[in-house]
Amino acid sequence: MKKNTIIFFFSILLGTLSLSQENDTLPYEFFKERIVLLADVGFNSAPFSIKDNYKLGVKKIRYKNNIKPAVGLGFAYKWFGLRIGFTLPLNMLDENKYGDTQYFELAIKANIKQTFCSIDLRSYNGYAVKDAYKFNDSLSAVTPNALMPFTRSASLSANVWYFRDKNFKMQAFQGRSAHFKEESKTWYFKGTLNFFGVSNDNSTIIPKELADTIDRKSARGIGAIDLGFIPGYAYGNRINNWQFGLFAGIGGVVQSKYYQKDGITRSFLGIAPRVDFKIAGGYSRRNYFVLLSSDFDIKSLKIQEMSYNQTYYNIRLMAGIRLHTKKSRKTDS
């Protein structure tokens, strides 16, 4: 009996040492027993363009939203994290040239084993057509843009990233409740489902000076629902407390795309390329961090001779502290 007891406790000791060695060799450090408090400041934007053979020799129309500074406050503990973000009532660009844009963004993110999941909802209301003075006589080089306050863009996306290497963690890339200890890299596969488009309930999407009898050139709405697959490569590292990382992938989607005019919708099937790109970097120690990050979500579709391209992106500077709890003090000691 005594011999069996010794073997039992010896086995537990070996298992504990083995687990400790495995954690020491992981390329990231996870602060699961610490409370993370964070704040960030940045901005979001969603410019788009439409190409076609329009009147007056115009081939491409570019739309730009005004930009408001965005502020966020949040915390993270173990597997749970929450961030509340809001925009300040302040336009960063000249309102005479870009008008006023009202926008709303909501993101839900979760890490599940070797996957990272996100659901993103974005809505922008109010755009300016850049350099519209070239075809609109009422404008000039001083006030070059045509304001279109009823033009709206919207996007709803659901994405899942599967990492081939189970030791690559999105928490470390994000740098809140974890950070890299050394180089970490992996191939990944991203599944994506999207609904997106632009509309104008008050008029056509394009300026009235360029409207045509062809339906797609006088549409009040264009958009698509698509489903696709993007393979890519993720990399992260931390050297002398300086952390950096990126995601880069390219793939394709199958689309059901459409345009609307006078209550009539015409639909088409097709395929389109998709790019996945994220970048982050900054300074991270065990007790605090300062990181700069940016995400790019690129949408596109083509119907006959018309091409629509839009990039939803954000740039965010985030700082935070990782506070000790009683459990974390025991773990660190």
Extended strands (E) in the chain: 28-30, 35-45, 48-51, 60-64, 69-77, 80-87, 102-112, 115-129, 146-163, 178-180, 184-200, 221-239, 242-261, 264-284, 288-303, 306-323
Structure tokens at 324: 């000790």
For residue 24, the model assigns a pLDDT of 57
CA 61 to chain centroid, in Å, comes to: 24
Q: With beta carbons less than 8 A apart as the criterion, state whether 322 and 290 touch.
A: no
CATH code assigned at 284: 2.40.128
- What's the total number of domains in the chain? 1
For residue 329, the model assigns a pLDDT of 66
Q: Domain containing 267: what range?
A: 2-332
> Per-block average pLDDT, block size 10, for the chain (333 residues)?
43 40 73 93 96 93 96 85 85 95 88 90 96 94 95 97 95 93 96 97 91 88 97 97 97 96 92 95 97 95 96 96 78 61
pLDDT tens sequence across 90-99: 999 999 999 9
Pairing of β 146-163 and β 115-129: antiparallel
